[in-house]
Amino acid sequence: MVNEKDTNTESVPVRGQWTGHLGFILAATGSAIGLGNIWKFPYITGEYGGGAFVLVYLICVVVVGLPLMIAEMMIGRRTQENPVGAFQKLHHRGSPWQITGWLGVASGFFILSFYSVVAGWAVAYTFKAIIGFTGSPEQIQNQFTELVTSPIDSILWHTVFMAMCIAIVMGGVRQGIERWSKILMPMLFLILIGLMFYGLFFTRGGSEALKFLFQPDFSKLSAEAVLSALGHAFFTLSLGMGAMITYGSYMKRNESIMKDAVTVSFLDTFIALMAGTAIFSLVFHYGMEPGQSVGLIFKTLPVLFKETGPLISVPFFILLVFAALTSAISLLEVVVSYFIDERGWGRVKSTLLLGLAIYIFGLLSAISSITLPFRGKDQGIFDILDFVTTNYMLPVGGLLTCLFTAWVFREADKIEEFGSKGSIYHLFSIIVKIITPIAVIIIILHGLELLPFMNYGNK
Ligand code: TRP
């Protein structure tokens, strides 16, 4: 029976569990580190003008992201449940708080549908790297435009990526996710360190890249940039939709949630900053535009890879695909575990049916030419989904999770999960009760241009 779960036994888990502490850290880090760090962080930083955006994002990671990651892991480990079940178990059956879980399952569904399309581009670039990048920088950059405007190619690679994702999630938590992370995550780390050092010391763009990333210019900070910085903190840390609830539910009793959350958030942020430094060094070295939208990494890195050859480029794209896979798996796992736990479906059936549904929905994002009027311009389904899920659905999901943790989650249970009730726990309580919710509410209202004391008129 899938539904038989005993929170107190460690030795015979009915639910899958990570094989060890390292297993959990790797899986959670694997979920956090993905296209969000290497593809999305550089491109939105470029769009929103650099330093000031990065600063707001870093503040959001510490003030909103870290406490929320702790909260999600606590809820998951306490309940041993999927997000929908977890909120009911801690409150009561049929509790309205389960809406938070529903929102999370929906977010996972929508995010994976476009995430897989971008991951598909990375798969395509693995093959382009094997063949080798040739021609002028413009010709190399045009390859990206050709890829995204060809529906057949986009669909093909989206198909390949979703198939890999479904195959892994079907195999279950332990075998599927853990085994590969142990080898490939450290490799990704090494290759990024290499690229960052190359960018900093062997190109002419290194110091300009550091200035761009770390010297805030607040005149460039629009309301939308602040909202996107918050949204991105959620996105990159895999928060606001119950992914860390689901992963926490497979976590063992004797681990310190706080330490793990700090480790995961730190590694995630570090990887993003390394990727950003590497990419902007190249952008400035070649005199390119920072604001190149979704194509940024696919347009800049291959220009360098033409010189370094396949020995660097092929491993890079393979590792990027892998990083995307470990993240995509966590998105699919949230959706799938809901149907396993709450609907009593088998893992195979649940993964196949939902994976297929997400795949089909993702076709809309793969065909980027379908546009709708949105925020004053015609935008592709892809951009709309990304904007709405990242900037509204995740923050609202996170806000509800935070309020739940602060006001509904029983104090004694929280202390037990946190592992102590000393001053750090008090700090955590205050942040979750007051600071995080207020910050999220203000930023969402600001993003909607609804803050009473701001003047949005002269835009
Ligand atoms: N964090 C991942 C990345 O940066 C994406 C991701 C995985 C995610 N699981 C998530 C985003 C859950 C939001 C919620 O690429």
pLDDT tier, 22 (very low <50, low <70, confident <90, very high otherwise): confident
d(CA 302, CA 130): 12
Question: What pLDDT shows up at residue 9?
Answer: 37
d(CA 238, CA 347): 22
Question: What pLDDT shows up at residue 5?
Answer: 39
- Please report the atom of ligand 1 found closest to the CA of residue 389: 13
Segment 401-420 shows an average pLDDT of 93
Segment 261-267 shows an average pLDDT of 96
Q: How far is the CA of 213 from the centre of ligand 1 (A)?
A: 22
Each residue's pLDDT tens digit, 62-113: 999 999 999 999 999 999 989 999 999 999 998 999 999 999 999 999 999 9
Burial 410-430 (b: 16+ CB within 10 A, else e): eeeebeebbbeeeeeeeebbe
Counting every residue, how long is the chain? 459
Tokens of residue 454, six digits: 């701001």
Q: How far is the CA of 392 from the centre of ligand 1 (A)?
A: 15
What are residue 242's phi and psi, to 5 degrees?
90, 10
Contact 401, 237 (CB under 8 A): no
Segment 367-396 shows an average pLDDT of 82
> Which of 116, 236, 388 for a ligand 1 pocket mutation test, highest count of atoms within 8 Å of Cβ?
236
d(CA 289, CA 429): 44
Q: Whose CA is nearest to atom 12 of ligand 1?
A: 238
Q: Whose CA is nearest to atom 10 of ligand 1?
A: 238
Q: How far is the CA of 331 from the centre of ligand 1 (A)?
A: 7
Lining ligand 1 with CB less than 6 A are: 31-32, 34-37, 111, 235-236, 238, 241, 243, 327, 330-331, 394
Task: List the one residue out of 34, 29, 31, 39 whose CA is nearest residue 382.
Answer: 39
Q: How far is the CA of 379 from the centre of ligand 1 (A)?
A: 23
Question: What pLDDT shows up at residue 241?
Answer: 94
Each residue's pLDDT tens digit, 114-150: 999 999 999 999 999 999 999 999 999 999 989 988 8
Q: Whose CA is nearest to atom 8 of ligand 1?
A: 238
pLDDT tier, 1 (very low <50, low <70, confident <90, very high otherwise): very low
- Please report the atom of ligand 1 found closest to the CA of residue 268: 4
Segment 11-28 shows an average pLDDT of 68
Q: How far is the CA of 238 from the centre of ligand 1 (A)?
A: 4
Contact 28, 244 (CB under 8 A): yes
Please tell me whether residue 455 adopts helix, strand or coil conformation. Answer: coil
Question: What pLDDT shows up at residue 173?
Answer: 61
Segment 379-383 shows an average pLDDT of 85
Q: Kindly tell me if the per-residue pLDDT of 262 is higher than 80.
A: yes
- Identify the residue with better confidence: 383 or 16: 383
Segment 370-378 shows an average pLDDT of 67
Question: What pLDDT shows up at residue 2?
Answer: 36
d(CA 88, CA 328): 26
- Percent of the chain topping pLDDT 90: 66
d(CA 293, CA 112): 19
pLDDT tier, 174 (very low <50, low <70, confident <90, very high otherwise): low
Q: Kindly tell me if the per-residue pLDDT of 389 is higher than 80.
A: yes
- Please report the atom of ligand 1 found closest to the CA of residue 331: 9
Question: What pLDDT shows up at residue 10?
Answer: 39
Tokens of residue 164, six digits: 């890999």
Question: Is the four-CA dihedral 50, 55, 58, 59 of positive or negative sign?
Answer: negative
Segment 237-243 shows an average pLDDT of 95
pLDDT tier, 372 (very low <50, low <70, confident <90, very high otherwise): low
Question: Which residues, including other chains, have CB under 8 Å from residue 433's CB and lie 6 or more apart?
Answer: 406, 407
Each residue's pLDDT tens digit, 65-79: 999 999 999 999 999
Contact 161, 2 (CB under 8 A): no
Burial 3-23 (b: 16+ CB within 10 A, else e): eebeeeeeeeeebbbbeeeeb
Q: Which CATH class is domain 32-458?
A: mainly alpha
Q: Whose CA is nearest to atom 9 of ligand 1?
A: 238
pLDDT tier, 249 (very low <50, low <70, confident <90, very high otherwise): confident
Q: How far is the CA of 131 from the centre of ligand 1 (A)?
A: 30
pTM for the predicted model, two decimal places: 0.92
Q: Whose CA is nearest to atom 14 of ligand 1?
A: 238
Q: How far is the CA of 327 from the centre of ligand 1 (A)?
A: 6
Contact 157, 321 (CB under 8 A): no
Segment 383-409 shows an average pLDDT of 95
- Please report the atom of ligand 1 found closest to the CA of residue 36: 4
> What's the one-letter identity of residue 318?
I
Question: What pLDDT shows up at residue 17?
Answer: 66
Domain boundaries, the chain: 32-458
Q: How far is the CA of 31 from the centre of ligand 1 (A)?
A: 6
Burial 149-175 (b: 16+ CB within 10 A, else e): eeeebbbebbbbbbebbbebbbeebee
Q: Kindly tell me if the per-residue pLDDT of 11 is higher than 50.
A: no
